[in-house]
Amino acid sequence: MARKRHVEALLNAEQLIENALALLKSQTSSIELAAEEMRLAQDELSTITGQFLPDDLLGKIFSTFCIGK
């Protein structure tokens, strides 16, 4: 389960970084939009390192356990 979660976080981070690069290359986008994409990518990577643990991640983890059966 952890490995699958890590792979998903890495793929999400990769996509967010690609979005940020595309925004930076665009002449019409603001740098703030690219910065937000990079912040979201950092959040994805932080779920792997344990620096950031959102409630929905805990929900995903505990939804796979069958407690009390």
The pLDDT value given to residue 61: 63
Q: Letter for the amino acid at 36? A: E
Tell me the CA distances in angstroms from 36 to 14, 39, 41, 49, 66, one per residue in order: 14, 5, 9, 20, 37
Mind listing the pLDDT tens digit for each residue in 13-30? 999 999 999 999 998 878
The proportion of the chain whose per-residue pLDDT surpasses 90, expressed as a percent, equals: 48
Q: How far is 64 from 50, CA to CA, in rounded Å?
A: 19
Q: Domain ranges in the chain?
A: 2-63
Which tokens in the block code for residue 23? 């925004």
| Residue 67 DSSP code | T
44 or 68, greater pLDDT: 44
